[in-house]
Structure 1
Amino acid sequence: MRKFSRQSRRGRFLLALGLGAIVISASGCTRIRTHQGYQVDKLLVDSVQPGIDNRASVEGTLGRPSFVAQFGEQDWYYVSRDMRSLAFSNPKPVSQTVLHVRFDPAGNVVAVDRMGLEQVAHISPTGDKTPTLGRHRSLFDEIFGNIGAVGAMGAGSAGGAGPGGGPNGS
């Protein structure tokens, strides 16, 4: 039977603790893939035909849309997006499909359009300040600029600020 000294037990414990920390920290660097929205089935989408299908058949085939046009129900949209991120970073879209089904006033399918990630607008804000119009006030103007202005409009009972002197007569 082999006996272990306290130092060898402590060394093994520290080694196991270090390996555990490495495994936990490495698992934080994994890629996270998510799917948002409609699950696109190419076979079902291809089965929707203009001039043949109507609202009821599209709903039966594809299900309820992600959203409907704001004015009337002439346009249905099915939105699907796949995202990818690394641990704690911001997610980035990998692929996107927007299926746009257009109907005529009678409810028959007029067109089925597909749009992808190429239609997404990339907005890149510049600078860290939002330009505003108006006067530029310093820190001291912001802090001390209202001294003397508090209550100046409604000072006194005849000014309309107290009970009975308000604009509505109460």
Structure 2
Amino acid sequence: MLGALTLTAGCTTINEHRGYIVDETLLQAVHPGIDNRQSVEATLGRPSFTSMFGAPTWYYVSSLSAQKPFGDAKFKQHTVLAVSFDDAGNVITADRSGLDAIVRIDPEGDETPTLGRERSFLQDLFGNIGQVGAGAPGAGGGQ
């Protein structure tokens, strides 16, 4: 009985929340043309991150994922609120996106393609035999 409970507990799904904790009432309280940076920060707090280029934009990111043992995490909820400001610090737009904006990137194969020579394991292992202790060409003997 104890063994069955232990196995069942090891197979449970792990739910994990990352980022901003979403409060719908607060998210809907940000209005373009009315709010400014100070009022947005007072209402929502500090953003998850800010834009580095272009119009000043604050991003509030929230994700809830679920992961089964030995499996990939799957997003159950995802919300991004992007609040853009003009030069005076007034809110221009407050756009929301959700799960539809998530893109899963699958790398091509298990290797990163690189430029240069293709060497086998044995060439890597034994390639420097005879090279050890040989000085660089043109290097003085040190007298």
TM-score by length of 2: 0.85
* 1:138 to 1:84, Cα distance in 2 relative to 1, 3 A: closer
Indicate the residue corresponding to 1:48 in structure 2: 30
Indicate the residue corresponding to 1:22 in structure 2: 4
Indicate the residue corresponding to 2:73 in structure 1: 91
Cα deviation, 1:73-102, whole Å, max 9, x if unaligned, reads: 811010000111124533221111010000
The percent of aligned pairs where both chains have the same amino acid is 50
Shift of 1:160: 4.3
Query: Which one has the largest radius of gyration?
Result: 1
Unmatched 5+ residue regions in structure 2? Answer: none
Residues 55 and 86 in structure 2, CA contact (< 8 A), matched pair in contact too: no
- Number of residues of Structure 1 aligned to a counterpart in Structure 2: 143
Q: What is the CA–CA distance in structure 2 between the aligned matches of 1:136 and 1:88, rounded to whole Å? A: 33
* SS of equivalent residue, structure 2 residue 61: strand
- 41-50 or 139-148, which moves further after superposition? 139-148
Q: What is the CA–CA distance in structure 1 between the aligned matches of 2:70 and 2:119, rounded to whole Å? A: 38
Q: What is the CA–CA distance in structure 1 between the aligned matches of 2:69 and 2:126, rounded to whole Å? A: 46
* 2:74 aligned with 1:101: no
Unmatched 5+ residue regions in structure 1? Answer: 1-18, 166-170
What RMSD, in angstroms, separates the aligned Cα atoms of the two structures? Answer: 2.4
